[in-house]
Amino acid sequence: MSTTQIASPRVALVTGGSGGIGRAVAERLGAEGMAVAVHYAGNRNRAQETADAITAAGGRSVPVTADVSDEGAVTAMFDRVQETFGGIDVVVNTAGIMLLAPLAELDLDDFDRMHRTNVRGTFTVSQQAARRVRPGGAIINFSSTVVKLTLPTYAAYAATKGAVDAMTMILAKEMRGRDVTVNAIAPGPTATPLFLEGKPQQAVESLKNMAPLERLGEPVDIAEAVAFLAGPARWVNGQVLYINGGVA
Protein backbone atom coordinates (compact mmCIF):
# COMPACT_ATOMS: atom_id res chain seq x y z
CA MET A 1 0.00 0.00 0.00
CA SER A 2 1.20 3.51 -0.79
CA THR A 3 2.83 5.39 2.06
CA THR A 4 2.27 8.75 0.35
CA GLN A 5 0.31 11.18 2.50
CA ILE A 6 -2.71 12.17 0.41
CA ALA A 7 -3.74 15.80 0.64
CA SER A 8 -7.05 16.48 2.38
CA PRO A 9 -9.42 17.42 1.03
CA ARG A 10 -8.54 15.82 -2.29
CA VAL A 11 -9.39 17.55 -5.55
CA ALA A 12 -10.95 15.96 -8.64
CA LEU A 13 -11.46 17.23 -12.18
CA VAL A 14 -14.17 15.42 -14.16
CA THR A 15 -14.35 16.14 -17.89
CA GLY A 16 -17.81 15.80 -19.36
CA GLY A 17 -19.09 16.17 -15.82
CA SER A 18 -22.28 18.04 -16.63
CA GLY A 19 -24.47 15.05 -17.49
CA GLY A 20 -24.86 11.29 -17.82
CA ILE A 21 -22.02 9.20 -16.45
CA GLY A 22 -19.90 12.31 -15.89
CA ARG A 23 -22.45 13.88 -13.55
CA ALA A 24 -22.83 10.64 -11.58
CA VAL A 25 -19.04 10.46 -11.25
CA ALA A 26 -18.74 14.09 -10.15
CA GLU A 27 -21.46 13.69 -7.53
CA ARG A 28 -20.00 10.42 -6.24
CA LEU A 29 -16.52 11.90 -5.86
CA GLY A 30 -18.08 14.87 -4.10
CA ALA A 31 -19.81 12.44 -1.72
CA GLU A 32 -16.41 10.87 -1.09
CA GLY A 33 -15.26 14.24 0.27
CA MET A 34 -13.40 15.53 -2.76
CA ALA A 35 -13.63 19.06 -4.09
CA VAL A 36 -14.84 18.63 -7.68
CA ALA A 37 -14.26 20.73 -10.79
CA VAL A 38 -17.10 19.94 -13.20
CA HIS A 39 -15.98 20.36 -16.80
CA TYR A 40 -18.36 21.27 -19.59
CA ALA A 41 -17.89 22.05 -23.27
CA GLY A 42 -21.07 23.90 -24.20
CA ASN A 43 -23.80 23.75 -21.55
CA ARG A 44 -22.78 25.80 -18.55
CA ASN A 45 -26.22 25.56 -16.94
CA ARG A 46 -26.02 21.78 -16.66
CA ALA A 47 -22.50 21.98 -15.24
CA GLN A 48 -23.66 24.57 -12.72
CA GLU A 49 -26.55 22.27 -11.73
CA THR A 50 -24.07 19.46 -11.06
CA ALA A 51 -21.80 21.77 -9.06
CA ASP A 52 -24.80 23.08 -7.11
CA ALA A 53 -25.92 19.51 -6.29
CA ILE A 54 -22.46 18.72 -4.91
CA THR A 55 -22.42 21.94 -2.88
CA ALA A 56 -25.94 21.32 -1.56
CA ALA A 57 -24.77 17.92 -0.30
CA GLY A 58 -22.04 19.64 1.72
CA GLY A 59 -19.18 19.50 -0.78
CA ARG A 60 -17.20 22.03 -2.80
CA SER A 61 -17.52 22.32 -6.55
CA VAL A 62 -17.10 24.74 -9.45
CA PRO A 63 -17.87 24.46 -13.17
CA VAL A 64 -14.92 24.82 -15.56
CA THR A 65 -14.90 24.89 -19.33
CA ALA A 66 -12.58 23.90 -22.17
CA ASP A 67 -12.52 22.31 -25.58
CA VAL A 68 -10.70 19.15 -24.47
CA SER A 69 -8.90 18.91 -27.80
CA ASP A 70 -7.46 22.43 -27.46
CA GLU A 71 -4.11 22.37 -25.64
CA GLY A 72 -4.29 26.00 -24.55
CA ALA A 73 -7.86 25.70 -23.26
CA VAL A 74 -7.04 22.53 -21.32
CA THR A 75 -3.95 24.15 -19.80
CA ALA A 76 -6.05 27.12 -18.69
CA MET A 77 -8.66 24.78 -17.19
CA PHE A 78 -6.04 22.95 -15.11
CA ASP A 79 -4.62 26.31 -14.03
CA ARG A 80 -8.04 27.39 -12.79
CA VAL A 81 -8.62 24.17 -10.86
CA GLN A 82 -5.24 24.51 -9.15
CA GLU A 83 -5.82 28.17 -8.36
CA THR A 84 -9.29 27.43 -6.94
CA PHE A 85 -8.55 24.32 -4.89
CA GLY A 86 -4.77 24.36 -4.45
CA GLY A 87 -3.92 21.26 -6.51
CA ILE A 88 -5.26 18.24 -8.38
CA ASP A 89 -5.37 14.64 -7.17
CA VAL A 90 -7.83 12.86 -9.48
CA VAL A 91 -8.56 13.43 -13.16
CA VAL A 92 -11.44 11.54 -14.78
CA ASN A 93 -11.87 11.72 -18.57
CA THR A 94 -15.55 10.97 -19.24
CA ALA A 95 -15.91 13.46 -22.12
CA GLY A 96 -16.66 11.69 -25.38
CA ILE A 97 -18.96 11.46 -28.39
CA MET A 98 -20.37 8.44 -30.22
CA LEU A 99 -21.44 8.51 -33.87
CA LEU A 100 -22.48 5.18 -35.37
CA ALA A 101 -22.57 3.86 -38.94
CA PRO A 102 -21.21 0.88 -40.86
CA LEU A 103 -17.54 1.43 -41.63
CA ALA A 104 -18.18 1.61 -45.38
CA GLU A 105 -20.79 4.33 -44.89
CA LEU A 106 -19.37 6.48 -42.10
CA ASP A 107 -18.81 10.13 -42.99
CA LEU A 108 -15.11 10.78 -42.38
CA ASP A 109 -15.98 14.14 -40.87
CA ASP A 110 -17.82 12.22 -38.15
CA PHE A 111 -14.77 10.00 -37.68
CA ASP A 112 -12.59 13.09 -37.30
CA ARG A 113 -15.01 14.60 -34.76
CA MET A 114 -14.88 11.48 -32.61
CA HIS A 115 -11.12 11.26 -32.92
CA ARG A 116 -10.71 14.89 -31.91
CA THR A 117 -12.76 14.47 -28.72
CA ASN A 118 -12.23 10.83 -27.76
CA VAL A 119 -8.56 10.43 -28.70
CA ARG A 120 -6.95 13.87 -28.89
CA GLY A 121 -9.11 15.12 -26.02
CA THR A 122 -8.16 12.20 -23.79
CA PHE A 123 -4.51 12.62 -24.76
CA THR A 124 -4.48 16.37 -24.11
CA VAL A 125 -6.19 16.07 -20.73
CA SER A 126 -3.99 13.11 -19.75
CA GLN A 127 -0.90 15.10 -20.71
CA GLN A 128 -1.77 17.89 -18.29
CA ALA A 129 -2.82 15.36 -15.66
CA ALA A 130 0.52 13.56 -15.96
CA ARG A 131 2.30 16.83 -15.27
CA ARG A 132 0.14 17.99 -12.37
CA VAL A 133 -1.57 15.21 -10.42
CA ARG A 134 -0.12 15.01 -6.92
CA PRO A 135 1.42 11.86 -5.41
CA GLY A 136 -1.26 9.46 -4.25
CA GLY A 137 -3.50 10.53 -7.10
CA ALA A 138 -5.23 8.82 -10.01
CA ILE A 139 -5.85 9.37 -13.71
CA ILE A 140 -8.95 7.55 -14.97
CA ASN A 141 -9.76 7.44 -18.68
CA PHE A 142 -12.92 6.14 -20.34
CA SER A 143 -12.83 3.29 -22.81
CA SER A 144 -15.81 1.11 -23.82
CA THR A 145 -16.88 -2.52 -23.76
CA VAL A 146 -17.59 -2.25 -27.51
CA VAL A 147 -13.85 -2.64 -28.08
CA LYS A 148 -14.37 -6.29 -27.11
CA LEU A 149 -17.92 -6.78 -28.38
CA THR A 150 -17.09 -5.77 -31.99
CA LEU A 151 -20.69 -4.83 -32.75
CA PRO A 152 -21.60 -3.71 -36.30
CA THR A 153 -21.75 0.10 -36.78
CA TYR A 154 -19.33 0.67 -33.87
CA ALA A 155 -16.06 0.37 -35.81
CA ALA A 156 -15.06 4.04 -35.71
CA TYR A 157 -16.14 4.57 -32.11
CA ALA A 158 -14.43 1.38 -30.95
CA ALA A 159 -11.26 2.45 -32.77
CA THR A 160 -11.13 5.66 -30.73
CA LYS A 161 -11.60 3.72 -27.51
CA GLY A 162 -8.92 1.19 -28.47
CA ALA A 163 -6.58 4.16 -28.71
CA VAL A 164 -7.60 5.18 -25.18
CA ASP A 165 -6.74 1.69 -23.93
CA ALA A 166 -3.25 1.91 -25.43
CA MET A 167 -2.40 5.37 -24.10
CA THR A 168 -3.74 4.45 -20.64
CA MET A 169 -1.54 1.38 -20.24
CA ILE A 170 1.55 3.16 -21.57
CA LEU A 171 1.03 6.25 -19.41
CA ALA A 172 0.77 4.03 -16.32
CA LYS A 173 4.33 2.86 -17.00
CA GLU A 174 5.56 6.34 -17.81
CA MET A 175 4.36 7.51 -14.37
CA ARG A 176 6.87 5.22 -12.65
CA GLY A 177 8.06 6.68 -9.36
CA ARG A 178 5.26 9.26 -9.13
CA ASP A 179 2.80 7.21 -7.02
CA VAL A 180 0.00 8.03 -9.48
CA THR A 181 -2.20 5.26 -10.87
CA VAL A 182 -3.52 5.31 -14.43
CA ASN A 183 -6.46 3.13 -15.43
CA ALA A 184 -9.42 3.08 -17.78
CA ILE A 185 -13.07 2.23 -17.19
CA ALA A 186 -14.85 0.42 -20.03
CA PRO A 187 -18.62 0.66 -19.48
CA GLY A 188 -21.06 -1.64 -21.20
CA PRO A 189 -24.54 -0.57 -22.34
CA THR A 190 -25.50 2.19 -19.92
CA ALA A 191 -28.75 4.13 -19.76
CA THR A 192 -27.50 7.57 -20.77
CA PRO A 193 -28.64 9.93 -23.55
CA LEU A 194 -25.36 9.18 -25.40
CA PHE A 195 -26.26 5.49 -25.52
CA LEU A 196 -30.05 5.65 -25.95
CA GLU A 197 -30.28 8.42 -28.56
CA GLY A 198 -31.41 7.15 -31.96
CA LYS A 199 -31.77 3.50 -30.94
CA PRO A 200 -35.11 1.72 -31.50
CA GLN A 201 -36.59 0.10 -28.39
CA GLN A 202 -35.98 -3.37 -29.84
CA ALA A 203 -32.26 -2.66 -30.07
CA VAL A 204 -32.20 -1.34 -26.51
CA GLU A 205 -33.97 -4.48 -25.25
CA SER A 206 -31.51 -6.70 -27.10
CA LEU A 207 -28.53 -4.92 -25.58
CA LYS A 208 -30.12 -5.00 -22.14
CA ASN A 209 -30.56 -8.76 -22.32
CA MET A 210 -26.90 -9.34 -23.21
CA ALA A 211 -26.04 -8.94 -19.53
CA PRO A 212 -26.68 -11.89 -17.21
CA LEU A 213 -28.18 -9.34 -14.82
CA GLU A 214 -30.72 -8.50 -17.56
CA ARG A 215 -30.63 -4.74 -17.32
CA LEU A 216 -28.76 -1.77 -18.64
CA GLY A 217 -26.09 -0.25 -16.48
CA GLU A 218 -26.88 2.99 -14.70
CA PRO A 219 -24.50 5.95 -14.38
CA VAL A 220 -24.21 5.27 -10.64
CA ASP A 221 -22.89 1.76 -11.40
CA ILE A 222 -20.04 3.28 -13.36
CA ALA A 223 -19.44 5.97 -10.74
CA GLU A 224 -18.89 3.27 -8.11
CA ALA A 225 -16.01 1.83 -10.12
CA VAL A 226 -14.50 5.28 -10.64
CA ALA A 227 -14.68 5.99 -6.89
CA PHE A 228 -12.85 2.70 -6.28
CA LEU A 229 -10.03 3.63 -8.66
CA ALA A 230 -9.91 7.19 -7.37
CA GLY A 231 -9.67 6.13 -3.74
CA PRO A 232 -8.74 2.78 -2.21
CA ALA A 233 -7.52 0.97 -5.34
CA ARG A 234 -3.86 1.90 -5.03
CA TRP A 235 -2.65 -1.49 -6.34
CA VAL A 236 -4.81 -1.40 -9.48
CA ASN A 237 -2.68 0.26 -12.16
CA GLY A 238 -2.35 0.11 -15.94
CA GLN A 239 -5.65 -1.74 -16.30
CA VAL A 240 -8.84 -1.49 -18.35
CA LEU A 241 -11.76 -2.40 -16.07
CA TYR A 242 -14.84 -3.70 -17.87
CA ILE A 243 -17.85 -2.48 -15.91
CA ASN A 244 -20.70 -4.07 -17.84
CA GLY A 245 -22.69 -6.51 -15.72
CA GLY A 246 -21.06 -9.51 -17.36
CA VAL A 247 -21.72 -8.64 -21.02
CA ALA A 248 -18.14 -9.52 -21.97
Per-residue pLDDT tens digits for 106-151: 999 999 999 999 999 999 999 999 999 999 999 999 999 999 998 9
Q: Does pLDDT of 172 surpass 80?
A: yes
Lowest mean pLDDT among 41-45, 158-162, 172-176, 206-210: 206-210
pLDDT at 7: 47
Closest CA to 152 of 208, 214, 104: 104
- Work out the mean pLDDT of the chain and round it to a whole number: 93
Residue 74 pairs in a beta bridge with none
Q: Does pLDDT of 2 surpass 70?
A: no
Helix (H, G, I), strand (E, B) or coil at 182: strand
Asked if 242 is an active-site residue, the reply is no
Q: Does pLDDT of 195 surpass 80?
A: no
pLDDT at 208: 80
Q: Does pLDDT of 101 surpass 60?
A: yes
- List, in order of start, the domains of the chain with CATH numbers: 11-191+219-241 (3.40.50.720)
pLDDT at 8: 61
Closest CA to 1 of 237, 235, 236, 238: 235
Q: Which helix (H) or strand (E) holds 181?
A: strand 181-187
- Cα maximum dimension of the chain: 53
pLDDT confidence band for 27 (50 / 70 / 90): very high
Helix (H, G, I), strand (E, B) or coil at 13: strand
Q: Does pLDDT of 5 surpass 70?
A: no
- Residues 6+ positions from 151 with CB-CB distance below 8 Å: none
Q: Taking the model in full, what pTM does it have?
A: 0.93
**212-231: average pLDDT:** 94
What CA–CA distance (Å, rounded) separates 246 from 211? 5
pLDDT at 6: 43
